[in-house]
Chains A and B, each alone.
Chain A
Amino acid sequence: MAAVQETVEQVRRVGADQYKYGFVTDIESDLAPKGLSEEIVRFISAKKNEPEWMLEWRLEAYRRWLTMTEPKWARVDYPAIDYQDLYYYAAPKSKAGPKSLDEVDPELLRTYEKLGIPLHEREILAGVERPEGEERPRVAVDAVFDSVSVATTFKEELKKVGVIFCPISEALREHPELVRKYLGTVVPASDNYFATLNSAVFSDGSFVYIPPGVRCPMELSTYFRINEKNTGQFERTLIIADKGSYVSYLEGCTAPKRDENQLHAAVVELVTLDAAEIKYSTVQNWYPGDENGKGGIYNFVTKRGDCRGANSKISWTQVETGSAITWKYPSCVLRGDNSRGEFYSIAISNGRQQVDSGTKMIHLGKGTTSRIISKGISAGRSSNAYRGLVSAHRKAEGARNFTNCDSLLIGDACSAHTIPYIEAKNPSCVFEHEATTSKISEDVLFYCMQRGLSQEDATALVVNGFVRDVLQQLPMEFAVEAQKLISVSLEGSVG
């Protein structure tokens, strides 16, 4: 099976019958003792054979974190998290990191197989072979299981064009100068409570470097999986697009069904130098908890891109369907002159899910432009808030933003909120904001059903129409699958 086909399959299965990723893999795992302390931070760093400076960086973050308090401003409500009752390191037990796929625990490979992620060497080879006549896009995959990256595909082929795509723990060992130069420069270790925690205890994640002038020959993608009970997942992703380069990156996430809540506090940093472009797409389908709000992932994520170079571009596209609580604001710092930031979001909440998500566009350079298209869909008894900041620095001459936030309500028990902040310190800025909130139209549903669609299919169709502008931003193969995921997330929201 070609790699892209498998990846498509993967996303498809992410969406199949309600939450079918709720399985737990029974593999021996290497757990650090519960709780958080300097010892644990040292333990993680030692496990990864990190350079001394990295340990210092972590410890500084940890000490800082001790002085901070959890933010409470978001429209989300959850019981206090006991940070001492969590495991901060869980790794599938194996000898000092697998050298090749043969060394990976077969049980773990089976998990990824269930998820449809193409990790097996044979399949990867099959993926390398182009089907006759037609050239298909391929996807290189990095899979992160609990705290560690278990396998990265297509590495050799990427290496030929100078692209580095590997676990961040490996990058720390093999490309320390690159990591040191960029790590924490977009999201400083002191940025916010969850980012600081991540800086202290992150255990793995993906690292990408695209050299000058290179257009990455395939989609890069990472799949995150939380398996272990009571484990926090703190992955760290760092992507650097050097001058004039381009990369499209996709991230997917699933977790088992558990009655306890699980904490996910990731940090993603993107850097574009002159005229470079990063397109970052997320299909987030963490376990959302049951209909009574029991269990589910707490998703507290800091994602930020820095358009450091002139004429560079960062675009975030997200399809958020899972998690019990989502606290997430992928942002762009538009530092380079004429740089551009984009944020396209579909956030669906059902059951008892709580979403507080949005973006920040920070215009610093001259002639910078940004565009925000946010589509929030609330169903069940969920709450869905868009929180956005568009700001322009004094020097951001001629900055422009266009924001469009639409909310769709399904049923009477859910809520939607739009909380925009606009700060323009330069009089030449033009910021436009449009927002609508509407209930799904009974008449339109009736019309669709009169043509033969069931109520659920009619709802999904109307919702897909509602989010079309954003779906079009996703890489083609994923758009189709995201569409299916949307239908699944809305199951049980009608009738």
Chain B
Amino acid sequence: MTALLEIRDLKAEIAGKQILNGYDLTVKAGEVHAIMGPNGSGKSTLSYVLSGRPGYKITEGQALLAGADLSQMSVDERAAAGLFLAFQYPLEVPGVATMTFLRAALNAQRKKRGEEEMSSPDLIKRVKELAKILDMDMEMLRRPVNVGFSGGEKKRAETLQMMLLEPKLCILDETDSGLDIDALKVVSNGVNQLRSKDRGIVVITHYQRLLDYITPDVVHVQSAGRIVRTGGKELALELEETGYARYQSEAA
């Protein structure tokens, strides 16, 4: 069976600087992978390369989503194909009500996939359910996308978008940063609801506490632009003890 995400010997650069140095990763449908690693090791870069952010260039290797070569797809095509990135630093879209944004995004994806658009009443109903799960005020969704949201509110909003869009592959880039203890539980609960046999989830995080709630099947250590070690959920606990020192020297 084709893996949901298959990255083979991927090399990528930004502004002429190589950041990913032969990256290998396979995520199968139904799995949750955690990627941990020191600051600047290229975790966000990986998420941007996969989602097609302008300026990030693949120089070698391949990344396939359900067998399809991502490098041949535009950013929005990748999204419609089911790739979702919860941003480490979500952007603000002034003047565009969150609800309008959600409707535009969902229906754009559906249209691209040849599916029927979701009606406004259905959409509002669905968003209300999700807001309840994530303990968000509907009033916030009438405000422009992320404008004036606190760090934690932005992360909740990202999670809500992800839950609404029901992507095949979710990449969460430090979704836990900025969340208070209660919010962490609420957001994790939301993410866990997305766990299914058809969906893959990649969580990028620095802390075990997120993995206490979202139990990963596989944990990777990334250093200097590639994965240097892979293990089970106990690997995260070990890292908590030892830190990254030995991996950094190994990579260098």
Which residues of A line the B interface, CB within 8 A?
441-444, 446-455, 457-458, 461-462, 464-469
Which of B51, B92, B112 sits near A450, CB closer than 8 Å?
A: B51
Given contacts A453-B108, A457-B104, contact A442 B54 (CB under 8 A): yes
Q: Which residues of B contact A461 (CB under 8 A)?
A: 93, 96, 100-101, 104
Asked if B106 CB lies within 8 Å of chain A CBs, one says yes
A-B contact pairs, 26 of them (CB 8 A): A444-B92, A444-B93, A446-B53, A447-B87, A448-B101, A448-B105, A449-B74, A449-B76, A450-B75, A450-B78, A450-B84, A451-B105, A452-B105, A452-B109, A452-B112, A452-B165, A453-B105, A457-B104, A457-B108, A458-B76, A461-B96, A464-B96, A465-B93, A465-B96, A466-B94, A469-B95
Q: How far is the CB of B89 from chain A (nearest CB, A)?
A: 9
Q: Are B96 and A446 in contact (CB under 8 A)?
A: no
Separation of A441 and B76 alpha carbons in the complex (Å): 17
**Contact digits for B68-98, partner A, Cβ 8 Å, 1 yes 0 no:** 0000001110111000110100111111100
Q: Are A451 and B91 in contact (CB under 8 A)?
A: no
Separation of A351 and B193 alpha carbons in the complex (Å): 48
Q: Which residues of A contact B54 (CB under 8 A)?
A: 442, 446
Asked if B161 CB lies within 8 Å of chain A CBs, one says yes
Which of A452, A468, A469 sits near B108, CB closer than 8 Å?
A: A452
Separation of A452 and B84 alpha carbons in the complex (Å): 9
Q: How far is the CB of A348 from chain B (nearest CB, A)?
A: 15
Q: Which residues of A contact B100 (CB under 8 A)?
A: 461
What is the chain A residue whose CB lies nearest that of B109? A452
Asked if B144 CB lies within 8 Å of chain A CBs, one says yes
Which one of A448, A454, A469 has the greatest number of beta carbons of chain B within 10 Å? A448
Q: How far is the CB of B109 from chain A (nearest CB, A)?
A: 4
Q: Which residues of A contact B74 (CB under 8 A)?
A: 449, 454-455
User: What would 14 more interface pairs be, CB under 8 Å, given A451-B108, A454-B74?
Assistant: A448-B105, A449-B74, A450-B75, A450-B76, A450-B78, A451-B165, A452-B76, A452-B109, A453-B76, A453-B108, A457-B104, A462-B93, A464-B95, A466-B95
Separation of A454 and B90 alpha carbons in the complex (Å): 19
Q: Are B95 and A467 in contact (CB under 8 A)?
A: yes
Given contacts A443-B91, A444-B91, A457-B104, contact A451 B79 (CB under 8 A): yes
Q: How far is the CB of A461 from chain B (nearest CB, A)?
A: 6
Q: Which residues of A contact B92 (CB under 8 A)?
A: 444
Q: Which residues of A contact B90 (CB under 8 A)?
A: 447
Q: Which residues of A contact B108 (CB under 8 A)?
A: 451-454, 457
Q: Which residues of A contact B80 (CB under 8 A)?
A: 452
Q: How far is the CB of A436 from chain B (nearest CB, A)?
A: 11
For chain B, give the interface size range.
20 to 34
Interface residues of B in 128-166 (CB under 8 A from A): 144, 161, 165
Separation of A2 and B190 alpha carbons in the complex (Å): 46
Interface residues of B in 202-245 (CB under 8 A from A): none
Q: Which residues of A contact B144 (CB under 8 A)?
A: 465
Separation of A224 and B179 alpha carbons in the complex (Å): 56
Q: Are A451 and B96 in contact (CB under 8 A)?
A: no
Q: Which residues of A contact B91 (CB under 8 A)?
A: 441, 443-444, 447
Separation of A441 and B146 alpha carbons in the complex (Å): 15
Q: Are A450 and B104 in contact (CB under 8 A)?
A: no
What is the chain B residue whose CB lies nearest that of A453? B108
Given contacts A442-B54, A461-B101, contact A449 B75 (CB under 8 A): yes
Q: Which residues of A contact B96 (CB under 8 A)?
A: 461-462, 464-465, 468
Separation of A423 and B22 alpha carbons in the complex (Å): 65
What is the chain B residue whose CB lies nearest that of A451? B105
Given contacts A442-B54, A450-B51, A454-B108, contact A468 B95 (CB under 8 A): yes
Q: How far is the CB of A443 from chain B (nearest CB, A)?
A: 6
Which of A441, A449, A467 sits near B79, CB closer than 8 Å?
A: A449
Q: Which residues of A contact B93 (CB under 8 A)?
A: 444, 447-448, 461-462, 465
Top 7 nearest A-B pairs (CB, nearest first) are A465-B95, A452-B109, A451-B105, A468-B95, A465-B96, A449-B75, A447-B91
Separation of A443 and B55 alpha carbons in the complex (Å): 11
What is the chain B residue whose CB lies nearest that of A460? B104
Q: How far is the CB of B181 from chain A (nearest CB, A)?
A: 28
What is the chain B residue whose CB lies nearest that of A469? B95
Q: How far is the CB of A47 from chain B (nearest CB, A)?
A: 49
Q: Which residues of A contact B95 (CB under 8 A)?
A: 464-469
Separation of A402 and B74 alpha carbons in the complex (Å): 43
Q: Are A446 and B75 in contact (CB under 8 A)?
A: yes
